[in-house]
Amino acid sequence: MAMIFLRRAGGVLVIVVALVAAVVAALAAFFGAAFATALVPVLVAAALAAFFATFFLLCWAGLALFGPLRTRRTRRTSSSGGRRPAVLAAAVATVVFGAGAGILLFRPMPRPADPPAGSDVRYWDLPTGSRIAYSHVPAVGRPRPAPVVFLHGGPGTANDGISPAGRALAADGFEVYAYDQLGSGRSTRLSDIRGYTVERQVADLEAIRRRVGADKIILIGQSWGGELAGHYLAAHPDRVAKAVLSSPGVLWYGAFSGRDSGELWDRLSPRQRAQAESLASSPRMLTAQLLAEVNPSAAHALLGDQEADERFRRILGASLSAAQCPGRPPASLPANRPGFYVNQMTIADAKTLPDPRPRLRAVTVPTLVMRGECDYKDWQVTYDYRRTLPNSTLVYVPHAGHGIAVDQPAVYLALVRAFLLGDRLPLPPYTAATPPAGRS
């Protein structure tokens, strides 16, 4: 009697192990198949086949333990008789597993329609293959020689056309342009997301300069936009008249290898962190992000642009206030759709690039670098631009976070106008290599 009980308990244990092993085998097959193909139906078929085969083999062994003690003569007969129940159990388990996985991984997330485009939105069809949405405010009076081009942050967080600062500059005689970078806003989304690279963004910007017919342009970049301006300066230093870098991103990631360069996540409150993590860690999002490590095209096939962009927007909304100085009026997200894949892939590409700073040390373009008091980026990220660009001026802006134009719009505009017009800056240059006491 005790032997029968132990055999049946062992059979139950084997079936439980079979279920766990089948799930592991299915996941391994799903991601393993992604090394060979981006076709999601093939990945699903591989996962279901692995689940069925693993569960069947182990379940067959487990069910055999429920039968009577077998002699050598009856072992072949009883083993053959246990095969049919194992097949049936494996089929049922596979259907249940497939249905559950389908609900978790293939139920579409919200995909709201894009907001209507403003009446000033136009498009450039560039020779790079990018279709770029842009806005333009013509200069008032006689135009100045170099037009202003605004570069938004992210990568992938497009703005809503021309900012108030841009319109003020147009009143000063500058032709002003703002565009949605490749992969964001109303601009092209690539079918092959591996095409989102820093080099492609630089090529688009150079094509834009040619399209507007300018010998030189003035670049005003925010966050990643400042980083993009830095890479453009390294590639085309003779095509930039002046540059304004507001809270610029990491110039070269190799300088911060193994240490934190400062991330927005570092500033999130426990409530914000929980909300952002819940949005970023849904099974569908996690699967897409893991697939992207194996085969980016498979990730894109599983999770399309509209779904990914909307989830990215919600994550940004949950963490937006952490980019500001405490006590400042709350910022709001642009209505324009952000780009999830251009964000992920461009950052990954930037981390593989060679050091641009040796070339930039020979660039003498007048450059204004602005740093907010509450910027979450490490001080050395900002100061790297000051010590690299020989004709740069660093200004420290009190009571401003990462978005200086958001927290201190009047100060931001006064600094930009004075710098571009050649007037005295309203704030003194910051010349120390270390941040003010108590800041980082």
pLDDT of residue 138 exceeding 90: yes
pTM of the model: 0.90
pLDDT of residue 384 exceeding 70: yes
Residue 12 and residue 65 in one domain: yes
pLDDT of residue 217 exceeding 90: yes
pLDDT value for 259: 76
Residue at 435 is within a domain: no
Residue at 325 is within a domain: yes
Apex 120 CA angle, 115 and 121, nearest 5: 55
Residue 15 and residue 54 in one domain: yes
Residue 247 and residue 153 in one domain: yes
Residue at 434 is within a domain: no
Residue at 426 is within a domain: no
- Two tokens, residue 375: 């910027």
Cα 5 to Cα 8, 70, 324, distances in angstroms: 5, 15, 65
Higher pLDDT, 81 or 142: 142
How many C-beta atoms surround the C-beta of residue 164 within 10 A? 11
What is the C-alpha separation between 412 and 246, in angstroms, rounded?
9
Residue 141 and residue 43 in one domain: no
CATH number at residue 186: 3.40.50.1820
pLDDT digits (tens, 9 = 90+) for 74-132: 445 445 556 888 899 899 999 999 999 998 888 887 777 777 887 789 999 999 999 99
Apex 254 CA angle, 252 and 258, nearest 5: 130
Residue 54 and residue 136 in one domain: no
Residue at 391 is within a domain: yes
Residue 62 and residue 168 in one domain: no
Residue 220 and residue 343 in one domain: yes
- Two tokens, residue 65: 């333990």
Residue 102 and residue 128 in one domain: no
Residue 43 and residue 155 in one domain: no
Residue 258 and residue 128 in one domain: yes
DSSP string, 104-168: HHHSPPP-PPPPPPPTT-EEEE-TTS-EEEEEEEPPSSSPPSS-EEEE-STTT---SSS-HHHHH
Residue 150 and residue 97 in one domain: no
Residue 12 and residue 136 in one domain: no
pLDDT digits (tens, 9 = 90+) for 14-38: 788 888 999 999 999 999 999 999 9
pLDDT value for 328: 85
Residue at 176 is within a domain: yes
Residue at 355 is within a domain: yes
pLDDT value for 59: 85
* Residue 253 domain boundaries: 122-421
pLDDT value for 257: 82
**What total number of domains does the chain contain?**
2
Residue at 114 is within a domain: no
